[in-house]
Amino acid sequence: MCALAEHAPMEIESKHYVSANDKEMLLEKILNDYKLLNPKEKTCSFNHIKNELAQKYEIETRSISNFFVSQLGNYELVGGNRNRAIVMRKTK
C-alpha cells in the first residue's frame, strides 16, 4: 500500500451522524496514522484526535469522550480531565 494512501482521510458519508461502526474505524485510522508519524510515542492525546476530526474529517465535537463513548472502552486511558490520552497498542 502506498504511504500516502495510509494517510488519506477515510470517507465519511454524513458529518452530522457517524455510525458506531464508522466511529470505530475512524478512531483506529486516526491512531494508526498517529503511530506511523510518531513511532516512539506511547500515547495519543484527545486534543490530537479532536484536531484530526476537525481538520481532516470536518467533524466538530465538544468532547472526544462523548463522540467515541462506545469505542473508548476498548482502550486504556491515562491522564486527567485536561490531558486525557489513549495508550497506544503494540503492533506485531
Supply the range of the domain harboring residue 25: 19-87
Q: Is residue 27 part of a domain?
A: yes
Look at the chain and count its residues: 92
Taking alpha carbons only, the member of 28, 8, 18 closest to residue 60 is 18
**What is the CATH classification number for the domain harbouring 78?**
1.10.10
Identify whether 4 is part of a domain: no
pLDDT along the chain (92 residues), means of 10: 51 74 94 95 97 93 94 95 89 49
Q: Is there a contact between 18 and 26 (Cβ–Cβ < 8 Å)?
A: yes
Structure confidence at residue 43 (pLDDT) = 97
Asked if residue 9 belongs to a domain, the reply is no
Q: What pLDDT shows up at residue 55?
A: 94
- pLDDT at position 81: 87
| Global pTM value | 0.83
The domain total for the chain is 1
Pairing of strands 43-45, 85-87: antiparallel
Asked whether residue 2 is assigned to any structural domain, the reply reads: no
Structural domain contains residue 29: yes
Residue 14 in any domain: the answer is: no
